[in-house]
Each structure stands twice: as structure tokens, then as C-alpha cells.
């Protein structure tokens, strides 16, 4: 049996716009994208954040407020909903895949993403530290990032911060 996938113009446009948006971002991913990672969906959510959206996303998530865009959503249970359709923190990516994690796991991944964001965007370190301080959260960035950046990430960081040749 052969399955055919018909790529409609709408699906093609959405798919290519996502690809181009990610290419345009011009920074390395905050996390490695491994499909078999148990936290693939939350990590892909953090990776999809543009630099311009990272700080507002950080503020919202530390306050327990929903944040999302066309690439994904992170949401918390509604405290007014007595039935509560989930406990923890729900991540949905742009392919409508869903994963629910504990609040502690979300905070750990958010801290890692923040640490990596600051490594890539050192000019935002003070702002990120202040956001963590205001929220009374774990001091930032005392915990070290668990993984060393790979060679591709190091190369991109060097390229981004190397002096430009004038000619």
C-alpha cells in the first residue's frame, strides 16, 4: 500500500514560512533537537522563540501565564476550572503535538534555555537576571548549563561575535 501526501498550497506556505522563519533567526538553537528526547516538544518550543520574543516569554512563564505564537504554545491549568483538563504545564508545537510536564521540569528547562540564551545574547544577561530576581526564582545563572555547546554552536557564536572586516 502506498500512501500519498498531498501538499496543498496552504500547507506548503505554512511549512515553508516556518522553515524560513527558523533560518532567518540567525542564532543557534537553545537545545539540541533530538526527536527521541523525552522533552522534545518543550525544547522545540524554546528553540522556536525569536530573540525578540524570548524576554516576554520568560516573564510570562515565570508568572504562570500562557505564552504562544504561530510556532507553539505553553499553557498552565486554569485555576478557575474545577474539572481541570490537565495538571502541570502543557506544551503544544506547530504540528499540534502535545506534551504535559511538571512545573518543576518546565522551570528547569526554562532556566537552561535562559542560560543558553544569555550565552548567545550576552547583552541581555542583566535583564534576564533581573527578571529572575523580581520573581524570587532560583538565582540566575549559578547553575551551569549541563552540556557543552557543540562545534556548530561554537562556530556560530564565534561568527556572530567576530570583528567585521572593513573593506
Q: Residue 115: is its pLDDT beyond 80? A: yes
Domain presence at residue 20: no
Give me the residues paired with residue 69 across strands.
72
Backbone angles phi, psi at 151, to 5 degrees: -65, -35
Q: Look up the domain containing 48 and give its range.
A: 35-135
Kindly tell me if the per-residue pLDDT of 154 is higher than 50.
yes
Domain assignment of residue 130, yes or no: yes
Q: Is residue 144 part of a domain?
A: no
The structural domain count of the chain equals: 1
In a domain, 148, yes or no: no
What is the Cα–Cα distance from 129 to 126, expressed in whole angstroms?
A: 5
- With 90 as the cut, is the pLDDT of residue 67 above it? yes
Overall pTM surpassing 0.85 (yes/no): no
Amino acid at each position: 500500500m502506498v500512501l500519498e501526501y498531498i501538499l496543498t498550497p496552504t500547507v506548503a506556505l505554512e511549512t515553508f514560512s516556518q522553515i524560513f522563519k527558523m533560518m532567518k533567526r540567525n542564532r543557534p538553537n537553545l537545545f539540541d533537537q533530538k526527536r527521541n528526547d523525552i522533552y522534545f516538544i518543550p525544547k522545540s518550543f524554546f528553540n522556536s522563540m525569536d530573540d525578540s520574543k524570548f524576554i516576554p516569554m520568560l516573564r510570562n512563564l515565570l508568572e504562570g501565564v500562557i505564552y504562544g505564537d504561530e510556532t507553539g504554545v505553553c499553557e498552565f491549568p486554569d485555576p478557575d476550572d474545577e474539572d481541570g483538563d490537565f495538571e502541570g504545564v502543557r506544551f503544544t508545537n506547530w504540528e499540534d503535538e502535545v506534551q504535559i510536564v511538571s512545573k518543576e521540569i518546565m522551570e528547569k528547562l526554562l532556566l537552561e534555555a535562559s542560560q543558553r540564551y544569555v550565552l548567545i545574547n550576552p547583552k541581555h544577561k542583566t535583564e534576564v537576571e533581573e527578571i529572575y530576581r523580581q520573581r524570587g526564582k532560583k538565582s540566575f545563572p549559578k547553575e551551569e548549563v549541563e552540556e557543552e555547546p557543540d562545534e556548530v554552536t561554537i562556530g556560530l557564536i564565534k561568527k556572530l561575535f567576530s570583528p567585521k572586516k572593513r573593506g
